[in-house]
Chain A
Amino acid sequence: MDQLHTIAHRFTARAPACDYWTLRLVAEESEHLSVRQGVVEPSTLDSSLGAMVTVAVGGGIGYGATSDLSPAGLQAATEQALGWAETHARLGLFDAALYPRSNLHAEYRSPVARSWENLPLADKIALLQDANRALQLNERIVDWAAWLAYRRVTQLLVTSEGGRIAQTLDYLSPGLVAVANAGSQTQRRHGGGADWSQQGGLERLAYLDLVADASRVGEEAIALLEAPECPEGRRDLILLPSQMVLQIHESIGHPLELDRILGDERNYAGTSFVTPEMFGTYRYGSKLLNVTFDPSVPGELASGVADDEGTPATREYLIRAGILERPLGGRLSQARSGLPGTANARASGWDRPAIDRMGNINLEPGPGPKEDTLAQLIGRVERGVLMDTNRSWSIDDSRNKFQFGCELGRLIEDGELRGLVRNPGYRGISAEFWRSLDGVGGPDTREVRGVQNCGKGEPNQAVYVGHAAPPCLFRNVAVFGGGE
């Protein structure tokens, strides 16, 4: 961070003449270790350092991004930004006066109890080798791998109005996969935190316990080979948090993004079935549906102190007791739309501008006691399916007609879990699906997860997004299995 402060100080001393400017400096360090079939794959050490200069002048806005952080490099980026601001002033969608100004001073660091450097490389490789041995249960396991990845993002945002926001985000991303095959049937199962990334350090390994989890992963992959296909028809559905993540992401998070509602994403990521007049009155789901934008959850992927427009991040209800309250939109989108929003203008790196993104979008657990445990949710199902771990996702450009597939399913009959079913999937319509929510796990069942590949924007940007959720029960959903 010291290096970024030095560069920022140098830039500020020669700041461009304009109505407002921001300098966003981003340094990234990452490391990826992987062992596949007992063979250590080439380890990778990646680093990145660059800056984005944004200027507002004469009613226009422009940006220039560069990996050349010398005074001349930043000057060249500034001139590019000024050139685009001039063109934007003539042909822009809105006046630069709407662009938010920030004088916020804030700092944030991810909670890390045990740093990445705290475990020697040889020990990390040994852990992955142990997990590999545990994954390879028999000859039906035809491929297997374990990995461990670390990423640190250090970002400094300074503004012409004295804003200075420093954030250091540490992520640990371990995982396991086992691939089982019999004839023309192949099944994959993930574990070890593969779909459970968080901010934090190596302390997460104790909880995830890769070696112990490897046996389960391998056993379930093999068992799925012989399992019957998930039945087709309408049944009750229990989604574990490992699938709730995608359900929230695609059919609540994306449709509530204000830039979609404003039309910015219509050529790529799509629009939204949600329209401005719905906020405050629209019944999005049953009374059990409570969804928050919450940047304060320790360890969740998108926790932080402010967004990339310099707006302080605070917890807000998006949906309360089923009623839609506010969209996901940063201050620029709020000014363009006249709607309230959240601090969620984020960029994927130094080379991309901030746009409306999900942060941590969480489905709040039920108050209990009726819905306290997963067993109690299952007990309320006469004929249904439980689904675990997303493997396929697809939804229309208005975020309404969705279809998801999961790695593993289990039948539920008369309130009890029965056998495994393979290739489980379900489909529905967002505007109807959440109204069928009839059970929400209690606080003890909530899991803090997220996704690391949320893509949108032109130019394209992929960011980490947090989702915390308990298991949930939905009534009368169209489910199906595999086959042509």
Chain B
Amino acid sequence: MTPGAFFELTDRLNGSLAGQEGLFCSLASETSDFVRLNHNRIRQAGSVRGTSLGLTLIEGSRQAEASCDLTGDPAQDLARARDLLGRLRERIPHVPDDPYLNCSEAPWTSDTRVGDAPPDPHAAVAELITLAEGLDLVGIWASGEIAEGLASSLGHRHWHRSQSFNLDWSAYHSGDRAVKATYAGMTWDGRALAARIEAIRRGLEIMGRPPRTLRPGRYRAYLAPAAVGELTDMLAWGGFDLKGHRTRQTPLLKLVGGERTFDPRVSIREENRRGLKPSFTPEGFRSPGTVTLIDGGRYAQCLVDARDAKEYGEPVNAAGGSPESLALDGGDIPDSQILARLDTGLYVGNLWYCNWSDPNDCRVTGMTRFGTYWVEGGELIAPVNVMRFDDSLYHLLGGRLEGLTTERELILSPQTYEGRSTDSQLLPGILVSGIELAL
């Protein structure tokens, strides 16, 4: 859907409001191509075209929300939207006043366009398959346009459109031994893809060596940015939202209370200024460019969405309680010195399936997965069979943190559960003196 069609639709809806009614309309639109690969061949391929309209009807201190899919035909879409508005009008007399109703009353506008037109997906996938000949490659190609819009009866008018591609794949040597890679972004470059394929081939040479099986215990380790991302994903799961803090459910409870700290080199921020996410919240507030969450190892601020802001009397600084553009500050270990600084221990390319083992102590469990190696004397020696870790982030980001890499990697989320994600993380790798392997 075009911004013109969306704003015309919302103008018609706003024009039909009566009395004290107010209306916030949101739009989520996706035009995506998905190609699933296995054994370097196409397993499943197709296209998805979908648009969803969200309405929040406000009358005095009451509100009710609804959503429906749109067709792209203006007349049909107006009829659906009016029907949805009618259902909300029927509902709203039966819901009580909402003390936490909180919408921006200062209208503003924005229009952001990110990214170039992605390459033809048929040609890009054919190029990948050719480059990867001989590899047991498995993964997903996703590309296309994502648009988000917001319009209110108060005058908010926002549009955020991004065009991108995300190739997320791994190449298997045998069994569960594999090397993972991604190539995602806004501007396609076939040479960059070729370079990644070559790096994969080199990684597989080491994967072919006889694997080591480690015993449970504590091991010195380097965690690459993708592995660090699994840990910061855990912090994002309830770690930073204001409600979680005020109701004492945050896994950072001991950090907030001053019982524990992270290493002073750990600073975590939400960086909306990265521009991959809309700068507006669903209620029409402006998301700040940066919110510092952890500053020098200590709790700094929470993410505060509109509802929590009203409940707890804080200013709005986020669309929701979980970071969507998280950044961890880099450190002073150049990438070129990672193996030398590790010397002997575990190089962890990726972690997998993390969950809270004990949130009260910020303790996380999960598995090693792709690209995990045993290192001796600063040299990659052998792949390591998958191991379960169970350790507290107060250790991994605290007392056992030896350093962070200078270079950081921008990881664009490949998640597609609710449409293609525009979340991202900017992360260094970390060197730790020990990680507890449990099984």
Q: Which residues of A contact B (CB under 8 A)?
A: 39-50, 52, 54, 61-70, 73, 76-77, 80-81, 83-84, 87-88, 90-93, 120-122, 125, 142-143, 179, 181, 184-186, 188, 262-264, 266-268, 270-271, 351-353, 355, 391-398, 401, 403, 405, 423, 425, 427-429, 455, 458-462, 478, 481-484
Contact = CB atoms under 8 A, between A and B. Distances in A.
A50 B49 CA distance: 10
Contact of A48 (B38, B47, B52): B52
B220 interface: no
B417 A65 contact: no
Contacts of A483: 358, 361, 363
A93 B39 contact: yes
Q: Which of B65, B356, B360, B394 has the most CB of A within 10 A?
A: B360
B122 to A, nearest CB: 5
Contact of B98 (A40, A355, A397): A40
Contact of B388 (A54, A93, A401): A401
Contact of B386 (A186, A352, A396): A396
Interface stretch (B88-96, B330-338, B401-409, B424-432): B88-96
9 contacts: A63-B44, A67-B69, A84-B47, A88-B45, A93-B41, A184-B360, A263-B38, A267-B169, A396-B369
Contact of B138 (A65, A263, A459): A263
B112 to A, nearest CB: 24
A47 B390 CA distance: 41
B254 A184 contact: yes
B164 interface: no
B153 interface: no
B324 interface: no
Contact of A65 (B46, B63, B76, B95): B46
B36 A458 contact: yes
B122 A87 contact: yes
B169 A67 contact: no
B189 interface: no
Which of A70, A88, A397, A425 counts the most B-chain CB atoms under 10 A from its CB? A397
Contact of B100 (A39, A66, A188, A482): A39
B140 A92 contact: no
A143 B250 CA distance: 12
Interface in B134-186: 136, 138-140, 142, 168-170, 172, 176, 178, 180
Given A70-B73, A458-B34, A458-B140, A398 B176 contact: yes
B357 interface: yes
A118 B179 CA distance: 55
Interface of B: 32, 34-36, 38-39, 41-52, 56, 63-73, 76, 84, 87-88, 91, 94-96, 98-100, 122, 125-126, 129, 136, 138-140, 142, 168-170, 172, 176, 178, 180, 243, 247-249, 253-254, 257, 259, 352-361, 363, 365-367, 369, 386-388, 390, 392, 394-395, 415-417, 420, 438-439
Given A39-B99, A48-B52, A484 B355 contact: no
A459 B34 contact: yes
Contact of B178 (A40, A179, A266): A266
Contacts of B87: 45
Name the 9 nearest CB pairs between A and B, nearest first: A63-B46, A482-B358, A458-B140, A143-B247, A459-B416, A80-B47, A93-B41, A45-B66, A67-B69
A162 B45 CA distance: 24
Nearest to A462: B417
A421 B68 CA distance: 46
Contacts of B38: 93, 262-264, 266
Nearest to A391: B356
Contacts of A90: 126
A425 B56 CA distance: 42
Contacts of B386: 396-398, 401
B249 A188 contact: yes
Nearest to B398: A484
A81 B46 contact: yes
Contacts of A405: 355-358
A80 B46 contact: yes
Contacts of A88: 42, 45
A63 B365 CA distance: 38
A351 B46 CA distance: 10
A266 B169 CA distance: 9
A394 B41 contact: no
Given A39-B100, A264-B138, A458-B140, A394 B366 contact: yes
Contact of A69 (B71, B352, B365): B71
A461 B418 CA distance: 9
A186 B87 CA distance: 40
